[in-house]
Structure 1
Amino acid sequence: MSMQTIQPQVKTEDFQDFFMPGYVRFGVNANLTLAEEVTKLDARKITLISDKGLEKVGVVQKVLDLLAPLDKDITTFTDISGEPSFDLLAHSIDRVRRHESDMIIGIGGGSALDVAKATAALAHEEDLSLCFSGQKSIETRNVKCILLPTTSGTGSEVTMNAIFGDEEQEVKRGLVSQSLLPDVAIVDPVLTLSCPPKVTAASGVDAFTHALESYVAERATPMTKMYAEKAMKLFAANIPKAVHNGKDLEARKQMSWVSLLAGVSLANAGVGAVHALAYPLGGKYHVEHGVANALLMPFVFEVIGQSCMEEMVEVASFLHLGDFTNHPHQAKGAVVHYLYELLETLSLPTSLSELGIQEEDLPLLAKQASKVDRLLSNTPYELTENQILKIYENAYRGQ
């Protein structure tokens, strides 16, 4: 009598996948090897995507000079100023199509990198509106992509996310796809030396938010926690030096590691409620993403921290706030206090009212944030719309 083999039922959620760019090069003056990487990928026509600020200070020209010996057909798109919209992304895609580029090089902060990698991933798509709205997923990328960050914050060079504003609906939405990972990420701390203190602070705390949120995330794994832990430890030791002594190359180098490591953790574990509440502030009031995250973080963790006490004890240890192993209920308070102090130490806004947010708009912001299911479902605490409103109200008044 033969016995049938019973195949176990397999669900994709039972697995823990891990994604990174095809290749990461990290180091001082790594940007000088850009031409070498372009040659390896055998590009014919290149679009260089950056922002107006970097063009003005000559960084874009320096990149063009690095590529000049290759004698490639290169065009530039530098229409980016501030955080990008879907309309801007559509213009970038149109430029790439008309140039028939087979490679995109993105250099800049998170905005420029998001535009660059999304343009590369969507250049072949016929109906962009379906992708922009999330009705159609981005399955493939036909255009090669190299990214070089000039800030230590978003980790965009190693993530599968790109964030854009919908100007008509006054909201921000994220595109998420493996196709948004570049072929090559070149992370060079030298490129961050000219970053001004305010941007250094906001982008640095943005990276810390990625590390902290992904560490407590529902989708966190031992591997993502390893990256997030190292990022938090390096952040605490180096962010004051990077902000207040921007020429300190070693501090800049360590903050580049913070951004990279936190970005990898974010890409695989995801983030949560802090980002969900930050999105409406960016969509309606155009508050910088890093500033919004930094301000909201202590107010959000005041609430959700009670549901992840073990992680709060660990985070307190990473930040050298004390050993709360025998008093876990006190760990959350220590971490939240650190987050409040961080705003003061780095001269960042400490209340929503400072940012010009209108109190009467808080219920609308709460309604919008409550719909960001992708992030709220990854938070170890089920926030209601009323609880989100209360967080906004507390953040409006400040500490």
Structure 2
Amino acid sequence: MTLQNVFDFHMPKVVRTGAGSFLTLAEEVEKFHPEKVGVISDRGLEKAGLVDRLVDSIDQIPDSIVTFTDTQGEPTFKLVGDVVEKMKKEACDLIIGIGGGSALDVAKATAALMDKENITPYLNGKLTIESRTVPSILLPTTSGTGSEVTMNAIFGDEEEQLKRGIVSASLLPDVSIVDPELTISCPPRVTASSGVDAFTHAIESYVAVKANPLTKIYAEKAMKLFGPNIHRAVHNGDKDLKAREGMILVSLFGGISLANAGVGAVHALAYPLGGKYKIEHGVANALLLPYVLEVTGKTCATEMVQIAKFLQLGDYDENTHKALGEVVGYLYELLDQLDLPSSLSELGVEEDSLNLLADQASKVERLLSNTPYNLSKDNIAKIYRNAYHGLPQMRREEVTEC
């Protein structure tokens, strides 16, 4: 018998959501009976007092707590190595990550690599992390990466000037605590870029080659929640907890879909921008999404009709060829409405580097092969050129017609 439509579905052992769920952290920590806890975060949260709040909440459980808060910006291989060595030296037997995607990626990679003598082959993709011995708990403070539920971690390869993703089920935490109250103080630009990043996870995994019925359920729910909540979270996020709750669920559901179906060309093209120009991952994905989709979306017209419905853009069952243009137009306008950059030139990308970027992106085969369109290097270079000058071709044609 030939097996067909067989797929695995991975999630953390426990995913806890809801306002105030942070208050249950201590009871989860206690279940692991740790002697020494390692807490990984960033300087911003440390200054905001959230790291101290976390430490105080679990202070009576382990013998001691070690903190690392130098994860500002995009984490690199070297940074991961430094954190792993520190947590090894301190003999931490539980890792807690709190913060945005960078802090969470470092935390879950650290937990998975602490029992490895040489971590380099795991970071550069030559070896896959088959198991881990140190448990982990993750708490997101932004609504974007979904890192608290994914099997991916993204780091900068300084030598190659590239972003690289490591993938392993061992990166999934034991417990994810997803509390919208932790995102209240997230500034508007980060809320915007991380929010569109979360939508990118949902839409790319929805049309992915590896998509399956379960992943589509999560991706669909994420996209339906995105439209009603993104503007409120960006422009009134310090007061609108309901919008924050909606967006953290967009991130969570998009992350679950991403973890199992994977993402595609948007991420493949974003990696070189992060590696060479240090452009934040969420900003790069948000900017590239309409430019990539206007090309790759041509091969999934049925899905585009559904996505247009999810975004409440109209019913295109009788005019399927129009759905893609409406979705691309919505995403382009969204960049303006959320005060996000809409061209690579705005971000300091040099025009004479576009071919190099295309060469680098064309080598991200893991993601390109999951895209429902066979993108050549020339296709990729054209997408970068369109993104450099701004305004996707579809919208240019519509503006010309008007």
What TM-score bracket applies, with the shorter chain setting the length? over 0.9
Is 1:88 aligned with 2:79?
Answer: yes
Name 1:178's counterpart in structure 2: 169
Name 2:52's counterpart in structure 1: 61
Is the partner of 2:275 in helix, strand or coil? helix
2:251 & 2:95 partners in 1: Cα distance?
Answer: 22
Is 1:358 aligned with 2:362?
Answer: no
Query: Any residues of structure 2 matched to 1:84-123 within 5 Å, and which?
Result: 84-123=75-114
Residue deviations 1:326-349, cap 9 Å, x none?
000000000000010110110000
Name 2:394's counterpart in structure 1: none
- After the TM superposition, which parts of structure 1 deviate over 3 Å for at least 4 consecutive aligned residues? none
Question: Residue 35 of structure 2 contacts residue 62 of structure 2 at CA under 8 Å; is this kept in 1?
Answer: no
Query: Any residues of structure 2 matched to 1:1-399 within 5 Å, and which?
Result: 8=1, 15-247=6-238, 248-399=240-391
Name 2:400's counterpart in structure 1: none
2:175 partner amino acid: V
2:122 partner amino acid: C
1:375 & 1:103 partners in 2: Cα distance?
Answer: 32
1:372 & 1:72 partners in 2: Cα distance?
Answer: 44
Alpha-carbon distance, 1:57 to partner: 1.2
Please list every run of 5 or more consecutive structure 2 residues that lacks an aligned counterpart in the other structure. Answer: 392-402
1:253 & 1:44 partners in 2: Cα distance?
Answer: 34
Alpha-carbon distance, 1:14 to partner: 5.2
1:213 & 1:366 partners in 2: Cα distance?
Answer: 20
2:175 & 2:132 partners in 1: Cα distance?
Answer: 14
1:246 partner amino acid: G
TM-score w.r.t. length of structure 2: 0.96
Please list every run of 5 or more consecutive structure 1 residues that lacks an aligned counterpart in the other structure. Answer: 1-7
Alpha-carbon distance, 1:130 to partner: 1.0
Question: Residue 188 of structure 2 contacts residue 235 of structure 2 at CA under 8 Å; is this kept in 1?
Answer: yes
1:175 partner amino acid: I
Residue 35 to residue 72, structure 1, CA distance change in 2 (3 Å): farther
Alpha-carbon distance, 1:69 to partner: 2.6
TM-score w.r.t. length of structure 1: 0.97
1:65 partner amino acid: D
Residue deviations 1:247-302, cap 9 Å, x none?
21010011111100000000000000000000000000000001000100000011
1:45 & 1:70 partners in 2: Cα distance?
Answer: 9
Identity %: 63
2:60 & 2:115 partners in 1: Cα distance?
Answer: 29
